Structure formats: structure tokens, C-alpha cells
Structure 1
């Protein structure tokens, strides 16, 4: 009987949205719940997960290599029930060392710490994707002042991990303007704002057609970029995830698209050989055979 080896894991960009998604999953939470099982069926269960979150920012890349990674409630003013949620996992000092070695080999600066801690950009989606909390997690902090091209290069340094059973995730938000949300402009079920739709559509089209000249210059070229991202730390983990595919010509697919509050996009992107298969799996509700 002939068997076909599974494709390497895709890398992912996940919009993690508000911490409240952990209590009120909505469409994005349902997508996260389907995402983990689909990846398992298509590619095998990851042996570790590396996450670059918009809430873990440093002057130079820092790999957190603690043997234990615990939940950090890095927010305030939310219901008490949210602070009772936990998602504590093993870390992986070995995978952390591998991450640091790959970054160093690419000629980029990197620091290793035997410390841990998962902000909500890490644990909120993972809690739905892998609720058993049985996969080691390695947080990767990154510099928010690096250009998209530099962050793409950081992601490209991590590309070998996908062939080693390690899932690489950039966690942020496809649109993120808390001034609009805090100002009460909108409600959770409001129809999507035209500016949000135009920005999200531009990113999807440029990703699908591999227009990286435009994507790397998104701040000037994308419609309503500054409105959707007054500061861009929530968007630019996109480039780390895309870079981890290894090539800007690798397949890219938006595997989930939804919006809450009219302007908070919750899109998920997959990059690499398995991107389209994952898109089909999530659209049909069952993992396709590769």
C-alpha cells in the first residue's frame, strides 16, 4: 500500500481580536475550533508551536525558552470570568534553541531567555485550536520598529521549522483601531464599514496574486491603511507568518474572513504548500485528503 507523506505545515496569520473572544467565540472562535483538527488531519499534529504575538514586543527578537509557559492576562477592565480562564502548557527549550539558531544563521540578532509567559494573542486562539493544551509553545517577541521587509526576513529564517513539525503563527489583527471601538462607534453586530472591507479586500487580493511589492508598502498603497491601523503592530505579524512559508511565491490563502464591531477584522491567512488544502478543509468543514 502506497502512502503519501503529509505536506509540511503551513504558517498562519491569525487575527486574535478582543480577549472577549475567549468567552464569546463568535465566527472567529468557531474557525479556531475547526482550525486545529483540520491541521491535524492534513499535516499531523504539531510537535510544537511558535507564536509571534502583537503583544510581545522587544527591541530585538527574543525567544522565550522556559520549560513551562503560563497564561498572562495582559488586559484590564474585562469581566471577572475572563481572568479565571487559563491555558498553561509546556514550553520547549529545545525548539526555542532551534528558533534562535535559525534566526542567528540568517544574520539577524536574537536573544534567548529561559523565561515564559503567553499573552492573550497567544493563548486566546490556541485555547480553541488545541483545548487539551498538550502541545509545547514557544513565544517569539519581536521588534515593532522593524520594517515589513525585515519582518518578512525574520519569518523566512523560521521556514525550516514547518518541515520539522513546528507550527509558526503570527498573531495580530487584520484591522485594529481601538480608538473606534473605545469611542463607541459601532456595535458587535454592525455591518462592516466600507473602509474595513476595502482594506481587507486589498490585502486578500495582493496576497493571492503574490504582489509583494505592494504588500511590503501597504502603509502607503493599501486603502484606509492608517485608519485601519493607526499603529501597525497588530498587522505586521502577517509578514512573519508569510515569511515562514519560505518564499513570497508560496501559496497564500485567506482561510477565514469575518468582522465584528463593523471594523475589527478577524481574518486568518495560511501560507505555504498546504494553504489551499486548509482553505478547502475549513470551507467544507472536513479536512481534504492531500
Structure 2
């Protein structure tokens, strides 16, 4: 059965694993709970259990699209200033070396340069949302990088190249944030974030797939685009999910307000 594709919000740092009673850190606030609940129901809502997961995180960039082909990747604790226990989290899912082979083959077939890597750990854009979505850690996962030129059209093309995986039982997940400006918080962020989110939603849910791809690739022309994303690495996983979706319609299956930011998640198919 054909799997959908997703663009998921992965929260802030280890936000889902903080002490909710700790007043010293904003990531401990209960406002993250709706996002956590959404992620927790992700696998159960699929048409069938995936054979593997291919995840593209906003926290890994490489000169060419690069897939991690290790059999048991470690965790990369690439967040800073959090309590000691958040650096002892575990998520021991197996890697996906066979999936990595398939990914490289699909990219080369599409004329996209592809790299391999086996030493880098899974960053928090992988293990934080996946620890919520798949606490048993019992589905193989391969991580795929962004390309460091951050070209939207190239990331949509990447998604299109990966689309056959959906028929093979692979769940393609883009992990980022629809709003990602760490310099603004609170009420000052909410109105422009809302206007940005409305415009992005209108583009992502355009029923014409070609027009949708063009509108989302031109994301920087939307209202408050650079306010929402001073740098677009957290938005590009959406491009991959959209490209892999083909003609499948997008639905917004999550929306919440955290730290004054309006944050959405999307499912295609």
C-alpha cells in the first residue's frame, strides 16, 4: 500500500523530554503538548506500518544529497544549554543501509549527485520527533541530508526522485519547522507568523500539483517569508515531502502556537 509523505514539526531542542514543571526553560512549557500528541499518533494513522523510514532533517546539510548508510547510527546531541538528562536520551532504531543503497540508485537515475556517510549520528531533527512517534524504535531509518546550496527546486526534484519508495513501503518524512526564527518570540511574532502561515498553507494545499510546486519553490515571495525563515533550512524538508507526493493532495494535519510562533505540519496522500 502506498505510503503518504509528511512534513513534521520537530519542536525546539529536546522539548518533548523536558520537565514540564521547570520554570527556568521555555521548552518545558505545556504549549508543546499538542505537537507531541500529534507526533505520538503518526504511525497509528498510516495505511499500514512502514517497512522503513527515510527522514530529511533541517539539521544536516552537505554539498550533495548524502544518505547515512550506517547499520546502527549513534545520536548527535546538537542542541545546547539543556538539562543533563536530555543528553542521555536514547533511541536505538536500526539504520537502513539497504534503503540507503536504493536512495543512491534513485538519485543517480534522476541525474542528481549522491553521497554516502556512515559516521555522523542522527541529529535531534531525527531522534526527538521519532522518539515520540516510534518509542519502540523498531522500524529501520535512513537519514538523508539537505543540499547546502538550499535550492528549493533541487529539493523538490529530490522528492520526485524518491517518490517510488512510497510504493515500496517506505515512509518519507521531512522534519523541520514551518516557522523558524529563533530571534523573535511572544506576541510580536504571532501576527506576522499567522500571515506567513496562511500564505504558506494556501500554496501547499493548491490542488494543481505543478502550480503548487512552483508556488512553494517561490516561498520567499510570500508575506513575511524572511521573518519566518531568516535561513530556509527548516523549510526545505517540506519541499522534499511535496516533491515525493506527486499529485497527491496536501492536508494540514497539525497546527499549534508555540513561543508565539504559528507552526503547521502537512500530510500528502
What TM-score does the superposition give when structure 1 sets the normalisation length? 0.83
* Residue 287 (structure 1) aligns with: none
Distance 2:264 2:74 in 1: 26
Q: Is the 8 A contact 2:64 2:148 kept in 1?
A: no
For the pair 1:234 / 2:231, whether they are aligned, the reply is: no
* Residue 260 (structure 2) aligns with: 262
For the pair 1:37 / 2:44, whether they are aligned, the reply is: yes
* Residue 11 (structure 1) aligns with: 5
Distance 2:142 2:248 in 1: 24
- Out of 98, 119, 127, the position equivalent to 1:115 is 119
- Out of 84, 96, 101, the position equivalent to 1:80 is 84
Q: Is the 8 A contact 1:250 1:271 kept in 2?
A: yes
Q: Give runs of aligned pairs for residues 1-290 of structure 1, distance below 5 A.
A: 6=1, 8-24=2-18, 25-39=32-46, 43-180=47-184, 185-186=185-186, 193-210=190-207, 211-212=211-212, 213-220=214-221, 222-245=222-245, 247=246, 249-263=247-261, 265-272=262-269
Q: How many residues align?
A: 252
What do the CA deviations read for 1:55-100 (whole angstroms, capped 9, x no partner)? 0111111111001122211111111121121112111211110011
Q: CA deviation at 1:146?
A: 3.5
Q: CA deviation at 1:122?
A: 0.6
Single out whichever of 51-60 and 12-21 deviates more from structure 2.
Answer: 12-21
Q: CA deviation at 1:115?
A: 3.4
Unaligned runs of 5+ in 1: 1-5, 273-290
Q: Is the 8 A contact 1:208 1:251 kept in 2?
A: yes
Distance 1:116 1:65 in 2: 10
Single out whichever of 192-201 and 223-232 deviates more from structure 2.
Answer: 192-201
Q: CA deviation at 1:52?
A: 0.7
Distance 1:45 1:205 in 2: 30
Q: CA deviation at 1:102?
A: 0.4
SS at match of 2:142: strand
Q: CA deviation at 1:157?
A: 0.6
Q: CA deviation at 1:120?
A: 0.4
What TM-score does the superposition give when structure 2 sets the normalisation length? 0.89
Q: CA deviation at 1:229?
A: 0.5
- From the two aligned structures, give the one with the greater strand fraction: 2
Q: Is the 8 A contact 1:22 1:82 kept in 2?
A: no
Runs (4+) of structure 1 exceeding 4 A deviation are none
What do the CA deviations read for 1:99-131 (whole angstroms, capped 9, x no partner)? 110011000000123335210001111111110
Unaligned runs of 5+ in 2: 19-31
